[in-house]
Amino acid sequence: MSEKLMHENIQKAQKEIESKKEIVKAGQMRQHYHFMPQTGWINDPNGLIYYKGKYHYFYQLNPYYGHWDYMHWGHAVSSDLMHWEYLPVALAPSEEYDDHMRGGCFSGSAIEHDGKLFLMYTGTSNHGEGYVQTQCIAYSGDGINFTKYEGNPVICPPEGVPSDLFRDPKVWKHNGTYYMVCGASRNKRGQALLYRSSDMLHWEFFNVLAESRGEWGYMWECPDFYQLEDKYVLTFSPMGESDRKAVYLVGDFDYDTGKFSWQISGEIDWGMDYYAPQSFLTPDGRRIIVGWANEWQWMSFWKDWGPTYREGWCGFFNLPREVRLMPDHTLQFLPVEELNILRENKQSIREFTVRDQNIELKAGDGISFEMKMKADLEQTDADRLEIDLRCGGEKKTTCIFDFKHGIMKIDRNHSDGWSKGISYSTLFLKGKKELDIHIFSDQSSLEIFADNYQNNHANNVFAGDNQNQILIRAYGGDVLIRDYESYGMKECFR
Ligand code: FRU
């Protein structure tokens, strides 16, 4: 009976998508190569997995309009991580544990079990006594049509955890046992709770993997946990921590006790639009993460949902990034090498000097492009280097590399008449010979990587097509730029 309801709700969602997808396709702000929904609202990446020869993206989706509501799981597959084929909606609200207009099928993950694709997600409902979040299972033989497990929910909120702050299960398998890390809140502090199971269906609480001591918010959303070389990494998005949106911890883990002891902490991305990243493994063993290019209302940078809802959509994913461990156990986040297949119209300059006059740089059409360069710090005496992106008329987004004060900033206050704020991070260049800068620009976003892919800023910018100029200049001296390269980026979605 309820399987029928889920099927009906998926049909309804599909009908809506079919009737509006061409309008969304024609949207002016639509991305060229960042993954976005066919119609409606998208937030977290869910269930990322390489399964039976294809990459799968599932995602938090409201297919009906460009605002958050009534969560479904959208679904798309790809062979190269760049070109995506949309599949029918995978999960729709239909059961008493997940059917609510301000709830639904919340975030979760995917794993192969028994030759089938299993999804574990958070069912969110409210029957008049507040929101209740429980962990639920759905599975599929063909990787397209899913059935919700009749024994759902498989995990209920434990003692001491508010029933509306228990969500986002991420599952993995180790030595024949299934493990799951879930976001929670206890005594107003964020936690990552660890569960285990021998059959994917019956789960027991194992330990508190890690928790905030007050420094990282009251709730941890979308935790993820994985091994990287001989270390373990925990990532999460804290609620109530304004500027911190995607924290990583690196340390050691003991499968006997379920305890994680971390020594290093950092931020995956300091920009205003990077949240809830989830990881997966490629067949060649790379650990890739994908984040949602946006932020929530409780964050310091939040303005409103953005201008694109008028075009019938809102939100997209950041570019997939490869996670690498550095010798000091901090992490790097590199845009995946698959992006190279989108390159066209290469331009390069071996070296040039930047002074206090603007120099115009060329990269693709100035809207959808990739750009790389190195500032030779031994040949640089300037206080600061600035690059204006998406300039036109009075509008521009400025990247500031302030050598004097050791800070990197992206200024959105003049970007598009809508965006606001400055994202910033520490630029620690002592003893370094060069500063590497790598920029990806798309119709509605800028992703800027610097200093060994450890200083990353994802910022959405809703600039018109007349904003296509790129300018570079220095203050207080000269900067020598080496190995300048730029490319246009081919369309993936239009
Ligand atoms: C994170 C989040 C998750 C939740 C989902 C709901 O962005 O708030 O914690 O499962 O979005 O759409």
Read off the pLDDT of residues 70-129 as tens digits, 9 standing for 90 and up: 999 999 999 999 999 999 999 999 999 999 999 999 999 999 999 999 999 999 999 999
Among all residues, which ones are annotated catalytic?
44
**Tens-place pLDDT, residues 321-372:** 999 999 999 999 999 999 999 999 999 999 999 999 999 999 999 999 999 9
Q: Best mutation site among 218, 222, 275, 294 for ligand 1, i.e. most ligand atoms within 8 A of its Cβ? A: 222
pLDDT at residue 30, rounded to an integer: 95
Let me know: does 287 contact 229? Beta carbons within 8 Å: no
Rounded to the nearest whole angstrom, what is the distance from the C-alpha of residue 71 to the centroid of ligand 1? 9
Query: What does the alpha-carbon distance between residue 475 and residue 159 come to, in Å, rounded to a whole number?
Result: 58
For the chain, the average pLDDT equals: 96
Report the DSSP beta bridge partners of residue 136: 121
**Tens-place pLDDT, residues 379-419:** 999 999 999 999 999 999 999 999 999 999 999 999 999 99
44 lines ligand 1 (CB under 6 A): yes
Query: Among the atoms of ligand 1, which is closest to the Cα of residue 124?
Result: 10
Query: Among the atoms of ligand 1, which is closest to the Cα of residue 275?
Result: 7
- What backbone torsions phi and psi does residue 16 show, to the nearest 5 degrees? -60, -45
Instruction: Label residue 318 by pLDDT band (50, 70, 90).
Output: very high
Query: What does the alpha-carbon distance between residue 206 and residue 429 come to, in Å, rounded to a whole number?
Result: 42
43 lines ligand 1 (CB under 6 A): yes
Query: Among the atoms of ligand 1, which is closest to the Cα of residue 44?
Result: 7
167 lines ligand 1 (CB under 6 A): yes
Query: Among the atoms of ligand 1, which is closest to the Cα of residue 296?
Result: 7
pLDDT at residue 124, rounded to an integer: 98
Query: What does the alpha-carbon distance between residue 189 and residue 312 come to, in Å, rounded to a whole number?
Result: 37
Rounded to the nearest whole angstrom, what is the distance from the C-alpha of residue 363 to the centroid of ligand 1? 36
Query: Among the atoms of ligand 1, which is closest to the Cα of residue 107?
Result: 10
Rounded to the nearest whole angstrom, what is the distance from the C-alpha of residue 384 to the centroid of ligand 1? 39
Let me know: does 450 contact 330? Beta carbons within 8 Å: no
Nearest CA to ligand 1 atom 12: 106
Report whether pLDDT(459) > 70: yes
pLDDT at residue 300, rounded to an integer: 81
**Tens-place pLDDT, residues 140-165:** 999 999 999 999 999 999 999 999 99
135 lines ligand 1 (CB under 6 A): no
Nearest CA to ligand 1 atom 6: 106
pLDDT at residue 303, rounded to an integer: 81
Rounded to the nearest whole angstrom, what is the distance from the C-alpha of residue 221 to the centroid of ligand 1? 7
246 lines ligand 1 (CB under 6 A): no
Query: What does the alpha-carbon distance between residue 61 and residue 315 come to, in Å, rounded to a whole number?
Result: 10
pLDDT at residue 185, rounded to an integer: 98
Q: What angle do CA 279, 35, 311 make, to 5 degrees?
A: 140
pLDDT at residue 241, rounded to an integer: 82
Q: Are strands 313-314 and 40-51 parallel, antiparallel or unpaired?
A: parallel
Q: Best mutation site among 41, 42, 44 for ligand 1, i.e. most ligand atoms within 8 A of its Cβ? A: 44
pLDDT at residue 3, rounded to an integer: 83
pLDDT at residue 196, rounded to an integer: 98
AA identity, residue 338: E
Rounded to the nearest whole angstrom, what is the distance from the C-alpha of residue 106 to the centroid of ligand 1? 6
Query: What does the alpha-carbon distance between residue 272 and residue 294 come to, in Å, rounded to a whole number?
Result: 7
122 lines ligand 1 (CB under 6 A): yes
Rounded to the nearest whole angstrom, what is the distance from the C-alpha of residue 3 to the centroid of ligand 1? 24
Nearest to 399 by CA among 477, 326, 472, 487: 472
pLDDT at residue 409, rounded to an integer: 98
Report whether pLDDT(242) > 80: no
